[in-house]
Each structure stands twice: as structure tokens, then as C-alpha cells.
């Protein structure tokens, strides 16, 4: 999710297991540790723009990296506060804060390499949007109120609210699946790798994509709270099966870059009218095929490109 949600969740988790008198410094440490994993966006591989991009939500977000990330956060904080607090206690709160990051990201649809180095799979549970005020603000209020009143219950209430909202979001995703199953059955399709993408800031409006018989299908699902879930049927575009669909005789570098980006896009790459190789998971129209980003072939090399955002 966004850095503020990550930071406040890390702070809330750390504050909830701290003493009342520790709330101020634990809040700062927890926020720092909770957001630290996203430092991967600053890691650059010389001469490899695609590889640098794919490092985001990679090893720094893995469950097995938590002790290392927590140790880095704890050491930096310990040095910043001039060794004012015991390192063991700093490490404890840094561990709790850092541990929230990868799991929260995995609840979204973007994909997180949560089990690296045992697995390079991008895990996405597809029930939380990447940004939502109902996640960020209650956590922020709980953290700040606990700082102000030197009490634990506000931050714990914020954490409980977050868990309740996450459960509600998951329930909404299952409503989408149930409604979409009827559409898929009517089409007589067997969906391959169906994915749900909640729109930014809501769990009542979703993009649903899946592959079937060499095509990518997209539909819009709406799940209003007091009404039945509904599906607006979209269309389909041919999926790109391999780099040869773009370059008949690709170089090794072209093949390597395409396969890596296709891994990132979870196999949902398709051609667009303007020559982009689009990631069809994310589009401006929830049932359309105008991708927000993708690849283009420029001077014999694949480069990342972004499209202009349009709201519908």
C-alpha cells in the first residue's frame, strides 16, 4: 500500500505492545520500520531499468528478510537517538513494525515476493486497494491519540478497526467472485488465473480479468453495501504468449526483458493501438483495455512507459 498506510500500520503494531511511557519514541521507530521496506525503489541496477523496477516489492518485502530489515531499522534508529534506549528493546519494536509491511502489500493486487528466497512467486491476495482512507486515517488517529493521552487503547482500537476493515474487504472480494462465477458460467469459460483489482480508494468497484483460450477478458464488478453485486461485462483482447509475438527473431536481451516483465504482469500482457505492450491488470476503464503502464520497443530495446490516466 501507500507509504503512509505502511508507516502507520507499523507504528500501530509497535505501539500496541509498548509501555505507555514509550509511546512517542516507539511511534517514530514503528513508522520508520513499517515503511522501510519500500527503500527498494531507490536500488538501481546500472544499465538495467527493468531489473531495477522489478526490485520493488521483492526481497526487502519477504518474510525471511524481516529480521534483517528490522536489524537495519533498529541500528539506524539506535544511532539517531544516540543510544538512548536499549538496543534489544529497539529491535523488538522494529521487528514488529517491519513485519507488517510485506503482509499488507500482499493483500493488494500488485504482487509481492513474500516467500523469497524459497519462491519467486508474486503473491497477491487481491482484496485490499493500494490506497484507501479507511485504512490510513483510523490507524493515524489511533497512533496520534495514544501519543497525546499516553494510553494504549486508542492505538489498539485503530488496529482492531484495520483488521475489521480488511475482513470486510475480503468479504467484498468474495461477493465479486460469486457474481462473476455466474457470468463465466454463462460464457462457458474455464477462467485461467482470475484476478480482482479493487479500484483506488474503494472496495465497492472492481476490475476482474482472466485468461481463456488465448484471450484476456475484463469485466467490471460493483459491490454496493446494501445491494446485490453486479457485473458489467467488458470485452477481450488477445494475450501475448511470448516475445515472438512482438519480435519474430528476438535477441537474448529482448527475450529476457520480456519474460521478466511478463512475470511482473502475471501473464496479462496484450498489444494496444498505440504500440504499447500493456499490463492489462490496471487500466483507466475498469472493463476496458487502456493500460496505465507497459512496455515499448525503442531502438531494439524494451523500455517501460506510462500512459495518461483517465477516470471513468
In the chain, which residue ranges form alpha helices assigned H by DSSP?
A: 3-16, 23-36, 49-53, 66-80, 87-106, 133-149, 153-187, 252-264
Q: Edge-to-edge strands of the sheet including 192-198?
A: 192-198, 205-212, 215-222, 230-238
**Mind listing the pLDDT tens digit for each residue in 206-230?**
999 999 999 999 999 999 999 999 9
Q: CA 109 to CA 286: how far, in whole Å?
A: 14
Instruction: Please state, rounded to an integer, the average pLDDT across all residues of the chain.
Output: 94
Using a 10 angstrom Cβ sphere, with 0-12 exposed, 13-18 middle and 19 or more buried, the burial of residue 144 is middle
Residues sharing a CB contact under 8 Å with residue 45, sequence separation 6 or more, in sequence order: 51, 52, 55
Nine-digit cell at 68?
534483517
Coil/strand/helix, residue 294: strand
Q: pTM for this structure?
A: 0.92
Give the helix/strand (H/E) hosting 271.
Answer: strand 269-271
Percentage of the chain surpassing pLDDT 90?
91
Q: CA 195 to CA 146: how far, in whole Å?
A: 38
Give one DSSP letter per residue of 56-121, joined into a string: TTSGGGSGGGHHHHHHHHHHHHHHHTTT-S-HHHHHHHHHHHHHHHHHHHHTSSS-B-TTTTT---
For residue 308, name the pLDDT band (cuts at 50, 70, 90). Answer: low
pLDDT at res. 300: 87
Which of 171-175, 194-198, 288-292, 305-309 shows the lowest per-residue confidence on average (mean pLDDT)? 305-309
**Statement: residue 80 has pLDDT above 80:** yes
pLDDT at res. 290: 93
Amino acid at each position: 500500500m501507500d507509504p503512509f498506510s505502511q508507516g502507520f500500520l507499523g507504528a500501530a503494531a509497535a505501539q500496541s505492545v509498548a509501555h505507555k511511557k514509550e509511546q512517542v519514541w516507539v511511534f517514530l521507530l514503528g513508522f520508520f520500520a513499517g515503511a522501510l521496506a519500500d527503500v527498494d525503489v531507490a536500488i538501481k541496477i546500472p544499465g538495467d531499468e527493468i531489473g531495477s523496477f522489478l526490485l520493488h516489492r521483492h526481497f526487502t518485502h519477504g518474510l525471511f528478510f524481516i529480521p534483517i530489515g528490522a536489524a537495519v531499522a533498529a541500528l539506524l534508529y539506535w544511532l539517531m537517538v544516540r543510544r538512548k534506549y536499549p538496543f534489544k528493546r529497539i529491535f523488538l519494536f522494529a521487528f514488529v513494525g517491519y513485519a507488517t509491511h510485506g503482509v499488507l502489500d500482499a493483500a493488494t493486487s500488485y504482487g509481492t515476493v513474500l516467500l523469497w528466497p524459497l519462491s519467486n512467486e508474486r503473491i497477491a491476495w487481491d482484496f485490499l486497494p493500494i490506497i484507501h482512507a479507511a485504512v490510513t486515517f483510523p490507524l493515524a488517529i489511533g497512533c496520534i491519540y495514544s501519543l497525546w493521552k499516553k494510553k494504549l487503547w486508542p492505538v489498539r482500537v485503530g488496529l482492531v478497526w484495520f483488521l475489521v476493515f480488511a475482513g470486510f474487504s475480503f468479504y467484498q472480494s468474495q461477493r465479486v467472485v460469486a457474481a462473476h462465477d455466474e457470468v463465466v458460467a454463462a460464457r462457458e469459460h474455464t477462467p485461467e488465473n482470475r484476478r480482482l483489482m479493487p479500484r483506488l480508494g474503494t472496495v465497492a468497484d472492481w476490475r476482474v480479468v482472466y485468461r481463456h483460450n488465448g484471450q484476456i477478458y475484463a469485466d467490471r464488478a460493483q459491490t454496493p453495501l446494501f445491494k446485490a453485486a453486479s457485473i458489467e461485462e467488458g470485452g477481450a483482447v488477445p494475450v501475448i504468449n511470448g516475445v515472438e509475438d512482438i519480435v519474430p527473431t528476438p535477441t537474448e536481451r529482448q527475450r529476457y526483458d520480456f519474460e521478466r516483465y511478463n512475470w511482473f504482469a502475471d501473464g496479462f500482457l496484450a498489444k494496444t493501438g498505440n504500440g504499447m505492450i500493456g499490463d492489462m491488470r490496471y487500466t483507466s476503464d475498469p472493463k476496458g483495455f487502456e493500460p496505465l503502464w507497459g512496455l515499448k520497443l525503442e531502438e531494439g530495446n524494451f523500455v517501460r512507459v506510462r500512459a495518461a490516466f483517465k477516470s471513468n
